[in-house]
Amino acid sequence: MKEIQPVIFPLNLGTAIYLNCVGSDNFNTCVTIYYQLLSAENGALQVGNLNLDGADYESYNTSADGNQYIYNWSAAQLGVTLI
């Protein structure tokens, strides 16, 4: 779990301050990433799946820290900023 710049959800749903990611690598062509945007109380405000493949998968495979790569990539896809 990584801290992010706060993301305010409409209709008083809350403010996300954490990004949590769990990657499932097929060890061939892609990683399916389950993500959660969480409140300070760890309430899930948004959840979903992202698919990392193609050139991004090659970069992930050659990165020094695959977990950090998944967080950075996921944050970029979701438009949130890690802090």
pLDDT at 80: 98
Spatial separation of the C-alpha atoms in residues 14 and 29, rounded to whole Å:
36
pLDDT at 15: 97
pLDDT at 12: 86
Taking only the tens place, the pLDDT of each residue in 25-44 is 999 999 999 999 999 999 99
Average pLDDT, the chain: 97
Phi, psi dihedral angles at 10 (to 5 degrees) = -70, 170
Among 71, 61, 62, which residue's Cα sits nearest to residue 23?
71
Give the strand pairing for 2-9 and 30-38: unpaired
Written as one letter, the residue type at 54 is G
pTM, two decimals, is 0.95
For the record, the structure tokens of 10 come out as: 């409409």
